[in-house]
């Protein structure tokens, strides 16, 4: 493995190695190139040092180090930031991946989870006790990033966002203080970390409420993609009982072994459905989705993997080396009528790239019953979340082409909702960060930022500068 050099070397990893209980990784360490990698394939930064913190005290000391040296500080839990915020060129990475303990209180139906744990690890540990909490659609995402931004996943309609099940958190703030944040203690901080991202400090532990969930009925369903099928799928999904949360990915069929090869690369509706309720009722609710295949001239879906299973089964195995180069734009829409479905099909058919997708996620249910001002995530009335994505070949020219395609489609799909979900933002500028927070919410966040991080130490994020 080649060892890369940072462009800035103002910090000698050797000089600080013994100051931490956790591991200090510098450019001369064999695993430096692995340790500096993040999911976003276009991000290739060389931190001066990566500190794999072992405890709250290490976290405090890394914050102190960043203050003393003036170096840029990146916070990393699962490393999935599309903007690459969990790494830095020449700065310090505070890496929480070794702080990943999951401690479940089965009787109380709560869990204390260290912020470096993955969504999959928590989901599996909870499932062993017949309990669950919703994170996102991908198991490798870190609870640190997904929780501080909101958390929209397979239980969003049944149990709300991840933050709707957050009871408390431990946060180390810019002055190195370890604070408890909950409904009664530092309630402003508790409000802000539920959607305001990593602006306010480093969360070291989250306490979540868990729900009884012995199993689900769900999984993957592949249907041919036509405007009619997209429209009908979304109409079913939007009017479904809260027990059903679902995603429709309209995209070229991935080459999965259980899908007939003749479909590979053809546009399909790749549905991800999760029924968190009684099994027979679930089968009844899911049947009309299977029947949509007939509208595409088929007797049965292209592939039907819907079945009773453990909730953790919603997270299939992932390739840890997967680092795609992709552009993605997020937005909310009110409904998918025929015109909208035609627009989606038309644009997906026109773009030249083997992998592109319009992802439609139905919101509502429990997530909509939380008042707008209860958390910093305030899109409670938004109906459907959309991600428009296209992979590019790694070159800037191709990235621009794909971004233009996605931007045009985003404008074509716009209805009345101007919001955007902060956790799906890439490097898109201040206006898009402001769109993540409705009027009033942004200003309140900026005031809280001033209180907890007046010098904007935590600025490598979707940044809200102090008021
Ligand atoms: C493949 C993929 C699928 C996704 N699916 C979903 C989904 O279904 N639903 C959804 O809601 N989101 C989803 N996301 C978005 C995801 O929630 C965000 O990218 C999130 O920030 C990733 O968290 P992380 O800890 O893995 O990332 P990191 O890159 O480690 O962190 C991202 C940022 O979060 C902040 N942060 C992280 N940890 C902490 C902490 N302990 N304390 C304070 N701040 C912290 C920091 O600002 C950091 O820069 C997905 C992203 C990807 C790449």
> How much is the pLDDT for 3?
36
> How much is the pLDDT for 361?
98
> How much is the pLDDT for 10?
72
In whole angstroms, give the CA distance from residue 409 to residue 333. 13
Confidence grade of residue 2 (pLDDT, cut at 50, 70, 90): very low
CA-nearest residue for atom 38, ligand 1, is: 144
CA-nearest residue for atom 53, ligand 1, is: 80
pLDDT tens per residue, range 70-79: 999 999 999 9
Which residues touch 350 (CB under 8 Å, ≥6 apart)?
Answer: none
What's the mean per-residue pLDDT of the chain?
Answer: 96
Confidence grade of residue 338 (pLDDT, cut at 50, 70, 90): very high
Q: What percent of the chain has pLDDT over 90?
A: 96
Would you say the CB of residue 249 lies under 6 angstroms from ligand 1? no
CB atoms within 10 A of CB 107: 7
Q: Give kind and range of the element (H or E) at residue 190.
A: helix 187-192
pLDDT tens per residue, range 245-291: 999 999 999 999 999 999 999 999 999 999 999 999 999 999 999 99
**162 CA closest ligand 1 atom index:** 11
> How much is the pLDDT for 4?
41
> How much is the pLDDT for 100?
98
CA-nearest residue for atom 23, ligand 1, is: 145
- Checking if the pLDDT of 1 tops 70, the result is no
Q: What percent of the chain has pLDDT over 70?
A: 98
In whole angstroms, give the CA distance from residue 179 to residue 95. 19
CB atoms within 10 A of CB 197: 27
> How much is the pLDDT for 6?
39
> How much is the pLDDT for 353?
87
In this prediction, residues 123-127 reach a mean pLDDT of 98
SS3 per residue for 278-325: CHHHHHHHHHHHHHHHHHHCCCCCCEECCEEECHHHHCCCCCCCCCCC
Would you say the CB of residue 198 lies under 6 angstroms from ligand 1? yes
pTM (2 d.p.): 0.97
Give the residue from 140, 96, 129 showing the smallest Cα distance to 114. 96
Would you say the CB of residue 422 lies under 6 angstroms from ligand 1? no
Which residues touch 108 (CB under 8 Å, ≥6 apart)?
Answer: none
Q: How far is CA 415 from CA 69, 327, 336, 389, in A?
A: 47, 22, 10, 19
In this prediction, residues 427-444 reach a mean pLDDT of 97
């Amino acid at each position: 493995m080649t060892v890369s050099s940072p462009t800035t070397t103002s910090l000698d990893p050797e000089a600080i190695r013994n100051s931490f209980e956790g591991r200090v990784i510098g450019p001369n360490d064999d695993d430096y190139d692995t340790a500096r990698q993040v999911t976003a394939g276009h991000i290739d930064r060389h931190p001066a040092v990566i500190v794999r913190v072992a405890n709250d005290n290490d976290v405090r000391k890394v914050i102190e180090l960043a203050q003393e040296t003036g170096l840029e500080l990146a916070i990393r839990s699962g490393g999935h930031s599309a903007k690459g915020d969990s790494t830095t060129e020449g700065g310090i990475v505070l890496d929480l991946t070794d702080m990943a303990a999951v401690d479940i209180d089965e009787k109380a139906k709560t869990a204390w989870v260290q912020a470096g744990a993955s969504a999959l690890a928590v989901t599996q540990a909870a499932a062993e006790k017949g309990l669950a909490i919703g994170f996102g659609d991908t198991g490798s995402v870190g609870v640190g990033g997904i929780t501080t931004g909101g958390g929209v996943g397979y239980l969003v309609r049944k149990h709300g966002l991840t933050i709707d099940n957050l009871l408390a958190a431990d946060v180390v703030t810019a002055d190195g203080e370890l604070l408890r944040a909950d409904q009664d203690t530092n309630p402003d901080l508790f409000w802000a970390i539920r959607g305001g991202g990593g602006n306010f400090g480093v969360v070291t532990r989250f306490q979540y409420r868990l729900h009884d969930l012995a199993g689900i009925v769900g999984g993957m369903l592949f249907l041919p993609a036509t405007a009619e099928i997209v429209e009908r799928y979304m109409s079913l999904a939007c009017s479904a009982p809260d027990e059903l949360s679902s995603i429709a990915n309209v995209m070229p069929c991935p080459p999965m072994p259980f899908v007939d090869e003749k479909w590979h690369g053809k546009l399909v509706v790749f549905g991800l459905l999760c029924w968190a309720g009684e099994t027979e009722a679930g089968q009844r609710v899911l049947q009309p989705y299977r029947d949509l295949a007939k509208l595409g001239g088929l007797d049965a879906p292209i592939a039907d993997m819907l079945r009773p299973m453990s909730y953790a089964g919603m997270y299939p195995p992932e390739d840890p080396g997967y680092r795609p180069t992709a552009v993605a734009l997020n937005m909310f829409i009110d409904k998918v009528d025929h015109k909208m479905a035609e627009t989606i099909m038309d644009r997906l058919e026109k773009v030249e790239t083997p992998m592109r997708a319009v992802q439609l996620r139905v919101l509502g249910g429990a997530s909509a019953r939380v008042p707008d001002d209860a958390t910093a995530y305030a899109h409670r009335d938004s109906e459907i979340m959309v991600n428009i994505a296209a992979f590019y070949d790694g070159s800037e020219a191709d990235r621009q082409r794909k971004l233009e395609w996605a931007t045009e489609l985003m404008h074509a799909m716009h209805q009345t909702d101007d919001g955007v979900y902060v956790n799906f933002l890439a490097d898109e500028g201040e206006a898009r960060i402001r769109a993540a927070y409705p009027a009033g919410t942004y200003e309140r966040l900026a005031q809280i930022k001033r209180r907890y991080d007046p010098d904007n130490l935590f600025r490598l994020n979707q940044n809200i500068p102090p008021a």
